[in-house]
Chains A and B, each alone.
Chain A
Amino acid sequence: MKGWIAAAALAVCAAPAAAGPPQVHALTGVRIVTAPGQVVESGTVVLRDGVIEAAGAAVEPPADARLWDREGLTVYAGLIEPYSVRALPEAGDGEPPQAGHPSALVRPETDVTAWAAKADSFRKLREAGFTTAVVAPAGGLFRGRGVLMNLGDGPAGDNLLRRDVAQYASFDSAAFQGGYPSSLMGAVALFRQALLDAAWYQTAQAAWSANPAQPRPAQSTALAALAGVAAGRQPLVIESGDLLGSLRIAGLANELSLDVWLVGNGEEYQTLEPIAAAGLPHLLPVAFPKEPKAPEPDDLQTGLSELRHWDEAPANPARLIGAGVRVALTAHGLPEPKQLHPNLARAIEAGLTAEQALAALTTVPAAMLGIADRAGTVEPGKMANLVVVDGELFTKDAKLREVWIDGRRFELKESKPPEVEPAGTWELVVEAGEGQRIPITLTLAGAAPSLTGSVSAQGQVIELASAEVSGAEVEVSFDGAGFGMPGTISFTLEIAGDTAEGSGMSPSGPFTLSGTRTATPEDAS
């Protein structure tokens, strides 16, 4: 594991400045949506060392900036995804954590930071214009703590903005594992008891600390992790599942004095009044029901409630915001994050304004997440997180051209029809600077555009997170943890027959690579 990445790390440490692209950029001639509803028709945005230095009509690009002519395009603040759910890397382990909660559904001490960075997920979020996201753990009743990250490549530590932004929970029965609870009411009872226990735990530990001459209460990492939630200091994000779930959770929030954010369900419009009265902020998916089957005029198979919901669901975001609910939108629940834009176009058609949509993806989540001073608008002093669009965001034909994250540019390539079939075994040599040359083997299986496979080096084999073909290129990414380097390693190879060359990025820095195909799937069979 250690070999080539360790070498790369050394190389980067030796010459940190030489590796990266220029650190000062100016986007010129660009239409700037500085904040929801505020537009500069033509101006310049200057980015310096990951921070917005200036933005406006009268801004002159500084002499040391690399110039990017963006005439005809529009720049917005990078979008913020408040709820990107990530499964535990090794689910179903079964062994309860020591000093944890006896129920396997109560794992609030889980910290998603260690596996939050994931190349293909980050790439897909970037393709939808997101530059920042909360990554939240999946599975269970109390699921654990989320982490707020920028969506760049490179070391996870560079992207990490804040750990422990919130605790995450769900009453989804899919997580039930046999044993208690087996019912929703059992899950609610466990939820209630766990939070009472967490509040008790604080006073019990404090009392024992002050007076150790009494039986020592047991330590619990789980109850300790719930302290902030139980005291109403830390947000608890709960998946509502359906409308009854929203109402149920609102009741629990009131009963237990919790600071709850609801993950919405799309049915809120059906009973706005009690939901607005509860006043819980929403992370609202922009997922709408599938179109009912093509019905005959006398069709009786399609339920009226299904028809009504299909018809009215796109109005849900507008209705909920109109009722005064604080709403941050999320791509959660969509097959691909970029589906956000056509779906928002439908929501806008049904009454949402583009300003409301933009606010619900920038300023509102920034405020909820406590980063309004550094994210959410295109203003001096904020993180250089931008999305550049040909056309308008939230339209059916919006063309997202690039995002900037911490002042680094990510071109959003539209994937082209595959021109190559790269399946087979590739012997490649990685050059990571200072003459380091590390041989690796890349094995790809399947057919374009999406393949599977693995990469091996010095005896370690790691499965690929993704391998996508676009034109004559294949873009590969995988988790570097197996090579002792948590974070994403990705590279792009240009394929010409049986030879390939390209470049990539690891948590330690950039590298190049080249080589040949030594076997094809036909050879194997």
Chain B
Amino acid sequence: MSLVSRPLTCAAALLAALLGALPLAAQGDPSFWRNQPPEQPAAVVVRNATIWTSGPAGRLEGADLLVRSGRIVEVGPGLEAPTGALEIDATGKHVTPGLVDAHNHSAITGGVNEGTDIVTAEVRIADVIDSRSINLYWQLAGGLTTANLLHGSANAIGGQSAVIKLRWGGTPEELLMREAPQAIKFALGENPKQSNWNVDERRYPQTRMGVEQVIRAEFQAALDYRREWQEHRSGRSRDRVPLRRDLRLEAVVEILEGKRDVHSHSYRADEILMLMRVAEDHGFRVKCFQHVLEGYKVADELAAHGAGASTFSDWWAYKYEVIDAIPYNGALMAERGVLVSFNSDDSELARRMNLEAAKAVRYGGLSETAALELVTINPARQIGAGEWIGSLEPGKHADFVVWSGSPLSTYSIVEQTWIDGRRYFDRAHDLEYRQVVAAERAALLAKVRASKEPPPGEEGEDDEEAGAGTGEQPAEAPAEPPAEEPEPEEPQEPPAATRPAARRLP
């Protein structure tokens, strides 16, 4: 409170004078969604930090990080920087790769689930990215730079996912990480079989057996579809009625052809084994199991199949199929050679992924660097982007975070977050700018009051509904997006903005 109320009378007056002249009062406010991207300095050098590379070099003390044109050039001690390079003194500070969340539902508008049909492979998260969501800025402030935006888990084959970089201020298109491969969400168990839904009309399937058969049947339909097209293309007769394109089946064909990775919501060992068998029967591999809370029971099978496992640090007991979850799951799977990450599945948790990683030191005794890799290079590889992000190595995107201390400490905070060699979050600038924002706010409130001066004999009209603002949060702050699950009680939900924050039910 005291931060915003004290010394600002002067600034308010100044800003009031400026308001008319500024083309856009919000320009410059780091928390305003639509800004020009931060400039990309030709070269940046971070000096004398503890650098967690999440790469073969491990953790380096007193090291420098050199960036040119948005790419990492070198990591090591005493680097020579080109003249004019932006120097950041990071003495006593820690630098990590930008954090990566392999399972995120923030910044999706108009519903996270197309939960109607059991297969909705044609729907695309990329069509509905909410680049205005203030979650993006808040997660940036927690060091997150890349998020795998996934469809929900209401149906066996959900929708196509989208990997975004948190290029706050950009349009939805500008957020997309073009290098990442195409992917799709599957879901197994209680959600697709509607165990916890109160629905008027039940949907096939209602059992785990049925979920498997739905997936197999869809693959068969896709194979038939592909064969029809192959025959059609090879046919030469004139005036033949052409085949109709089916976007749902086309997406499933892409899975079978290895052009679309599968990320599958899963909990129990049996369903994990089931999907691996179905995939192997169809000649592909599941890229990554999500949640996978019984993964520790089938860690060897996961490793042999080559599937990644993106799990929770310590969520369990929120429904029957997760009763066997344990916080050692991540460490146990990692020990058996599974590529493991921790994910958020939650807009709030995604602001502190570093602390999720730290729990793997406490539960299971992973080394500190291996623990951090659960939220850097491992999820980057799981989403097929390990070639470009997830570690601080020459040639990779300059996505990095400057921390006040060890990233595994609850006392550490993010000071700067960089993406593509651009400083998207700077805590010092944010704190400083709050005064300007407070002044702007005061000036606007004064303007509202002035416009309400009622003409003689007339009462200013007031609307009860107006003014349902978002408190002090500055920019567009929609209601917290729903957690991944369809609300079991009410599968056909109103749009996210109109309902209370969803229960967290991973």
Contact = CB atoms under 8 A, between A and B. Distances in A.
A293 interface: yes
B440 interface: yes
Interface in B203-237: none
B180 interface: no
Given A173-B495, A311-B25, A183 B113 contact: yes
A185 B123 contact: yes
Interface string B165-186: 0000001110000000000000
A243 B477 CA distance: 15
B500 interface: no
Contacts of A302: 445, 448, 467, 469
A440 to B, nearest CB: 41
B172 A291 contact: no
Contacts of B317: none
Interface string A389-433: 000000000000000000000000000000000000000000000
Nearest to B469: A303
Contact of B241 (A182, A214, A295): A214
B116 A181 contact: yes
A287 to B, nearest CB: 14
B445 A297 contact: yes
Contacts of B113: 182-183
Nearest to B112: A183
A312 interface: yes
Interface string A145-188: 00000000000000000000000000101000011111111111
Interface of B: 5, 19, 24-26, 34, 109-117, 120, 122-125, 127-132, 151, 159, 171-173, 238-242, 244-247, 437, 440-442, 444-449, 451-452, 460, 462-463, 466-477, 492, 495
12 contacts: A180-B114, A182-B113, A183-B115, A183-B123, A185-B125, A185-B128, A188-B128, A189-B122, A248-B128, A301-B468, A302-B445, A305-B474
A271 to B, nearest CB: 5
Given A184-B109, A188-B124, A302-B445, A211 B475 contact: no
Interface string A296-318: 01111111111110111000000
Q: Looking at chain A's contact residues, is the secondary structure mostly helix, strand, loop, or mixed?
A: helix
Given A183-B113, A301-B471, A204 B123 contact: no
Contacts of A308: 25-26, 440, 444
Contact of A197 (B114, B244, B470): B244
A183 B114 contact: yes
Nearest to B247: A193
Given A181-B116, A248-B127, 12 more contacts: A181-B123, A184-B109, A184-B111, A188-B128, A207-B242, A208-B241, A243-B132, A292-B467, A297-B442, A302-B445, A307-B441, A307-B445
A274 interface: yes
A247 interface: yes
Contact of B116 (A186, A208, A214, A291): A186
A203 interface: yes
Contacts of A204: 241-242, 244
Contacts of B473: 303
A293 B122 contact: no
Nearest to B133: A244
Contacts of A94: none
Nearest to A310: B448
Contacts of B159: 185
A173 B499 CA distance: 14
Contacts of A183: 110-115, 123, 128
Contact of A294 (B5, B460, B471, B477): B460
B294 to A, nearest CB: 30
A339 B181 CA distance: 51
Contact of B477 (A210, A244, A303): A303
Of B113, B122, B246, which is in contact with the most chain A CB atoms at under 10 Å from its CB?
B122
Contacts of B437: 304
B492 A180 contact: no
Given A173-B110, A185-B125, A294 B448 contact: yes
A185 B476 CA distance: 21
B241 A312 contact: no
A244 B115 contact: no
Of A180, A189, A203, which is in contact with the most chain B CB atoms at under 10 Å from its CB?
A189
B471 A303 contact: yes
Nearest to B132: A244
A184 B496 CA distance: 11
Contacts, number: 184
Interface string A187-225: 111001100110010011001101100110100000000
B463 A290 contact: yes
A251 interface: yes
Interface in A277-293: 290-293
Contacts of A518: none
Given A188-B123, A244-B131, A211 B240 contact: yes
A270 interface: yes
What are the nearest 3 A-B pairs in CB distance?
A: A184-B110, A183-B111, A303-B469
Nearest to A299: B445
Contacts of A301: 467-469, 471
A196 B245 contact: yes
Interface in A239-287: 243-244, 247-248, 251, 269-271, 274
Given A208-B241, A270-B34, A311-B25, A294 B452 contact: yes
B444 A305 contact: no
B444 A193 contact: no
A244 B463 contact: no
B171 A303 contact: no
Interface string A77-116: 0000000000000000000000000000000000000000
Contacts of B472: 300
B23 to A, nearest CB: 9
A208 B472 CA distance: 64
A294 B451 CA distance: 10
B466 A293 contact: yes
Contacts of B444: 304, 307-308, 310-311
A192 B110 contact: no
A60 to B, nearest CB: 47
A514 to B, nearest CB: 41
Interface in A307-356: 307-308, 310-312
A422 to B, nearest CB: 30
Contacts of A192: 122, 247
Contacts of B475: 304-305
B448 A200 contact: no
A204 B245 CA distance: 12
A300 B471 contact: yes
Contacts of A292: 448, 466-467, 469
Contacts of A214: 240-241
Contact of A312 (B25, B111, B247, B442): B25
Contacts of B116: 179-182, 186
A184 B128 contact: yes
A211 B114 contact: no
Contacts of A274: 171
A221 B368 CA distance: 64
B441 A251 contact: no
Contacts of A211: 238-240
A187 B127 CA distance: 10
A423 to B, nearest CB: 29
A299 B4 CA distance: 12
A243 to B, nearest CB: 7
Nearest to B476: A305
Of A301, A305, A311, which is in contact with the most chain B CB atoms at under 10 Å from its CB?
A305
A251 B475 CA distance: 25
A294 B495 CA distance: 29
B171 A271 contact: yes
Contacts of A187: 110
B471 A295 contact: no
Given A304-B440, A305-B470, A247 B242 contact: no
Nearest to A204: B241
